[in-house]
A and B are shown apart, each in its own frame.
Chain A
Amino acid sequence: MKWFQSNPKDERVEQAKNQIYRELYIVVVGLCFLSIIIKQFVDVAAYSNILAEIVILLIPSLYYMVRGWQLDIFSAEREMHDRRSRIPMTAKNFIYAGAGGVAISLYFGTRSAILYAEGSAQSISYFFLVAAVSLMIYLPLLIGLAFLVEAITKSRHVE
């Protein structure tokens, strides 16, 4: 029976451990980004193989979304934010999503112009072509994601 009894835990130690786990997650995310950057600029041949990094970055984010939704922390967070900020969190989320879409498009446009174009005329045309297509894909995608977050937050919000 003793196996099933959990040892008493010191709350301060548990809080300190949670703090370390939080920092650890930032370290892992940082290492993943570093790995992607190194693969892209230093070891170009390995760039096609960044699936592991993408999975490590995406799965915890999805997990956080699901657990956050289950524990209803998003609506509480939004309420606290809206209490002291002039711009509501919903508006901020859409602005960030739009800015993110534009930033990704500019990044892909620049990347294509540098890596694949020959000559300045082709660079400019590649930049605008890739940036425009990326904008058409990523802007609706990220704004759709913002809508999804909004819907998820509202679905759990209890007045």
Chain B
Amino acid sequence: MKNLKLKAARAEKNLSQQELAEQIGVSRQTIGLIELGKYNPTLQLCLAICKALSKTLDDLFWED
């Protein structure tokens, strides 16, 4: 399932996939795949993404 919350939070911060990827130390493809729901990130990476986007785990990764 696509992670639209992550995409929206990234857009809110005016960051491209490349910029977010560089901030948290992964490749652009990994961010793309997380947004597409094709890669299941570790908790460590989830936390890094949350910190970079100033969001909580609930905000970005909790499915309603």
Contact = CB atoms under 8 A, between A and B. Distances in A.
Interface residues of B, number: 11
B45 A11 contact: yes
A18 to B, nearest CB: 13
Contacts, number: 21
A12 B25 contact: no
B41 A13 contact: no
Contacts of B18: none
Contacts of A159: none
A118 interface: no
Main DSSP-derived SS at the A contact region: helix
A11 B46 CA distance: 11
Interface in B26-47: 26-27, 29-30, 33, 39, 41-42, 44-45
A154 B18 CA distance: 48
Interface in A13-46: 13
A11 B45 CA distance: 8
A10 B42 CA distance: 11
A11 B27 CA distance: 9
A12 B26 CA distance: 8
A119 interface: no
Contacts of B41: 11-12
Contact of A13 (B27, B42, B44, B45): B27
A115 to B, nearest CB: 53
Nearest to B33: A12
21 contacts: A8-B25, A8-B26, A10-B25, A10-B26, A10-B27, A10-B30, A11-B26, A11-B30, A11-B41, A11-B42, A11-B44, A11-B45, A12-B26, A12-B27, A12-B29, A12-B30, A12-B33, A12-B39, A12-B41, A13-B27, A13-B30
Given A10-B26, A11-B30, A13-B27, 12 more contacts: A8-B25, A10-B27, A11-B26, A11-B41, A11-B42, A12-B26, A12-B27, A12-B29, A12-B30, A12-B33, A12-B39, A12-B41
